[in-house]
DNA sequence: GGGTCCATTTCGATG
DNA sequence: CATCGAAGTGGACCC
């Protein structure tokens, strides 16, 4: 990995054409030839970049560019498309190179799958007497996240989202329509369970008789911890 | 902007929980307190990060951590949520700080919106006698980029892309299906207009009776310049 | 501030 | 390998 702090302007030509006026920025060159141009703010997205695989070539600028103050011209050419990033370096303020090696990569936790697992393990969160039938209950149009039965033995279909929006309500509605055609299950009620439920989604769900339940991830995990300590 | 190359492990707790095992990485600290953790590969997306606004605090590690080889504990706390990134630094291999100043920002050109505007202004590019009905013609499934009428008064739906691929053809097909149900418009023909049309997209479009038009962005802009000179 | 749509999206799962 | 959907999506535009 090569780190360069430089006064530079940048031009990109590929799916669109874009230009960065002269300013001081970080140029990050990765081992796979990809280049990121970062400013001292904004999000994790660079101002401009070239995706791997790419090849960086550093050239002496043409006479016109040299007169305009350019000391190095970087051309980053994508190896599979004709996308190209051209960096006109006016002044190098810092430069260093580092061996990083291959990264072991990120270990994720707490996504929708984990919420589903936690809720399935603590289905009583939905109400006293609730019992799990099964996770990923298969139907003709796809798996329902959780199928349960309430204290009175009535079937309940649960749709789980990290953040519930209208499409989650639509999805659950389709499942409910289908499940209610099964005489062994009908009548099936619906529960939309999520860490966050958008107002529109809540309105639509309520209008359709679907119950909304806000999940507290930490609390569910906390129950887990208690279990772990007990056993 | 502060650049640190360090052997470190990283833990994130917020919307999800994630962990990065010990390895050598780039830690990029921006002026707004945001932090990016980059490896020497992958795309522009960091392995892990904290969005601004955030505050970085560097602490002496606790005894347990110190015994595990940690020399510095970085805590990056988001200022508005309870998202938190903890970096356990085991060894600092490089460190430097730089003043970058405010970036003038990216100037984009040739995006779909601009192409749409240019083509709407010069709808005759599609053929003699073409007349603009309107841009962003609203339908139940979304806006059609341009609705026009040809020299014979027949409705024409135009889908604009910088680079047309198969999904653009599918999108236009959906619009055509819908528009052709409207007796006031039917029969509606389709035009796929783009600076570049991928072979697959051209084949599919042609097969469906959709005309393909390659737009010359510079020429369209040139017409603009001529207009500017005339008036 | 919320809603919607686009992205040089990136990323992973799946058929 | 293409396709489809989610993302700690982010960002822009509109209301």
Report chain A (231 residues): mean pLDDT per 10 consecutive residues. 97 88 96 94 93 94 94 94 93 97 81 76 92 83 84 92 76 84 92 80 84 80 53 40
Whether pLDDT at B194 is above 80: yes
Same domain, B189 and B116: yes
Question: Residue A201's closest CA among A229, A231, A173?
Answer: A173
Of A31, A110, A162, the CB nearest to B41: A31
User: Does A106 fall in a domain?
Assistant: no
Residues B90 and B117 in one domain: no
Calculate mean pLDDT across residues B30-35. 93
Q: Which of A33, A68, A97 is the last residue of a domain?
A: A97
Residue B9 has pLDDT above 90, yes or no: yes
Domain identity same for A199 and A159: yes
Say if residue A160 is in the same domain as residue A57.
Answer: no
What is the predicted pLDDT for the residue at A137?
82
The residue among A66, A97, A128 that closes a domain is A97
CA torsion, points A172, A178, A179, A182, in degrees to nearest 10? Answer: 170
Tell me: do B80 and B148 sit in the same domain. no
A154 DSSP assignment:
-
> Is B102 a member of any domain?
no
pLDDT band of residue B45 (cuts 50, 70, 90) is very high
Q: Alpha carbon of A143 to those of A7, A125, A158, B26, B216: distances in Å?
A: 54, 21, 11, 41, 48
| Token pair 């959709």: residue | B210
Query: In this structure, how many other beta carbons lie within 10 angstroms of the beta carbon of residue B33?
Result: 18
pLDDT-derived band at B197, boundaries 50, 70, 90: confident
Higher pLDDT, B222 or A55: A55
Q: Are residues B116 and B226 in the same domain?
A: yes
B140 lies in some domain: yes
Domain identity same for B155 and B219: yes
Residue A167 is part of a domain; what is its CATH number?
Answer: 3.40.1350.10
pLDDT at B157 over 50: yes
- Per DSSP, A189 falls in state E
For residue B161, give the chain A residue with the closest CA: A15
Distance CA B215, CA B218 (A): 9
Judge whether residue B28 has pLDDT over 80.
yes
Q: How far is CA A147 from the centre of its chain?
A: 27
pLDDT > 70 fraction of chain B, expressed in percent and rounded = 93
Question: Is A107 close to B20, i.e. CB distance below 8 A?
Answer: yes
d(CA A216, CA A222): 10
Strand order in the sheet with B131-139: B131-139, B142-149, B155-164, B189-197, B211-214
pLDDT for the residue B8? 96
Strand D contacted by B100 CB (< 7 A): no
Domain identity same for A116 and A226: yes
Range of the domain at A162: 112-230
Residues A58, A86 within the same domain: yes
Q: What is the pLDDT of residue A194?
A: 82
Would you state the torsion angle of the CA atoms of residues A150, A152, A155, A159, taken in this order, to the nearest 10 degrees?
-20
Question: Of B77, B220, B94, B102, which Cα lies nearest the Cα of B162?
Answer: B220
Within 8 A of A3 by CB-CB distance, chain B residues are 3, 26, 96
B103 assigned to some structural domain? no
Closest Cα in chain A, distance from residue B129 (Å): 30
What angle is formed at CA A43 by the lines to CA B10 and CA A109, rounded to 5 degrees? 35
For residue B231, name the pLDDT band (cuts at 50, 70, 90): very low
Residues A135 and A33 occupy one common structural domain: no
Test B18 with A52 for CB contact under 8 angstroms: no
Separation in Å, CA A31 to CA A3, A55, B35, B48, B138: 11, 10, 21, 19, 47
B45: nearest CB among A44, A101, A109: A44
What's the length of chain B? 231
H or E element, residue A225: helix A217-230
The C-alpha R_g of chain A, in whole angstroms, comes to 27
Structure-block tokens of residue B126: 């599609």
DSSP-derived pairing of the beta strands B155-164 and B189-197? parallel
The answer to whether position B40 is within a domain reads yes
DSSP string of A91-108, one letter each residue: EEEEEEE---------EE
**Nearest residue, CB atoms, B40 vs list A31, A38, A110:** A31
Residue A105 domain-assigned? no
Give the Cα separation of B79 and A114 in Å (integer): 27
In this prediction, residue A229 carries a pLDDT of: 40
pLDDT value for A224: 56
- In angstroms, the Cα distances linking A214 to A33, A125, A148, A174, A217 are 45, 10, 17, 21, 9
Q: Is residue A207 part of a domain?
A: yes
End of a domain among A44, A73, A97? A97
The percentage of chain B sitting over the pLDDT mark of 90, rounded to a whole number, equals: 46
Alpha carbons A51 and A83: distance in angstroms, whole number? 9
Question: Are A148 and A203 part of one and the same domain?
Answer: yes
- CA angle at A20 for the pair A18 and A22, rounded to the nearest 5°: 155
Q: Is residue B138 part of a domain?
A: yes
pLDDT value at position A170? 77
Q: Is the CB of B52 under 7 A from strand D?
A: no
* Residues B59, B70: Cα–Cα separation, whole Å: 11
Overall number of domains in chain B: 2
State chain B's mean pLDDT as an integer: 87
- Local confidence band at B172 (pLDDT 50, 70, 90 cut-offs): confident
Which CATH number is A83's domain given? 2.70.180.20
Q: Determine the Cα–Cα distance for residues B104 and A22; give it in Å rounded to an integer.
A: 8
Q: Which chain A residue has its CA at the smallest distance from B7's CA?
A: A100
Would you say A191 and A156 are in contact if contact means Cβ atoms under 8 Å apart?
Answer: yes
Strand ranges, E, within chain B: 2-13, 17-29, 35-38, 48-50, 54-59, 72-78, 84-97, 107-109, 131-139, 142-149, 155-164, 189-197, 211-214
Note the pLDDT of residue B110.
66
pLDDT for res A173: 84
Contacts of B24 in chain A (CB under 8 A): 98-101
């Amino acid at each position: 990995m090569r780190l360069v702090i430089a006064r530079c302007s940048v031009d990109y030509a590929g799916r669109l054409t874009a230009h960065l006026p002269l300013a001081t920025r970080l140029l990050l060159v990765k081992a796979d030839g990809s280049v990121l141009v970062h400013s001292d703010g904004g999000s994790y997205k660079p101002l401009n970049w070239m995706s791997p695989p790419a090849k960086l070539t550093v050239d002496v600028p043409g006479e016109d560019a040299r007169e305009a103050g350019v000391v190095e011209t970087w051309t980053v050419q994508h190896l599979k498309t004709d996308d190209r990033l051209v960096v006109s370096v006016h002044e190098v303020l810092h430069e260093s190179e580092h061996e990083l090696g291959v990264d072991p990569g990120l270990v994720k936790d707490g996504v929708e799958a984990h919420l589903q697992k936690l809720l399935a393990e603590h289905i009583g969160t939905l109400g006293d007497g609730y019992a799990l039938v099964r996770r990923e209950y298969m139907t003709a149009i796809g798996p329902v996240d959780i199928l349960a039965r309430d204290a009175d033995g009535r079937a309940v279909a649960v749709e789980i989202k990290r953040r519930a929006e209208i499409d989650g309500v639509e999805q659950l509605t389709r499942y409910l329509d289908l499940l209610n055609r099964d005489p062994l299950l009908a009548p099936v009620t619906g529960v939309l369970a999520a860490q966050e439920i958008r107002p529109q989604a809540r309105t639509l769900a309520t209008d359709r008789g679907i119950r909304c339940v806000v999940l507290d991830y930490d609390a569910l995990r906390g129950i887990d911890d208690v279990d772990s300590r007990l056993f």
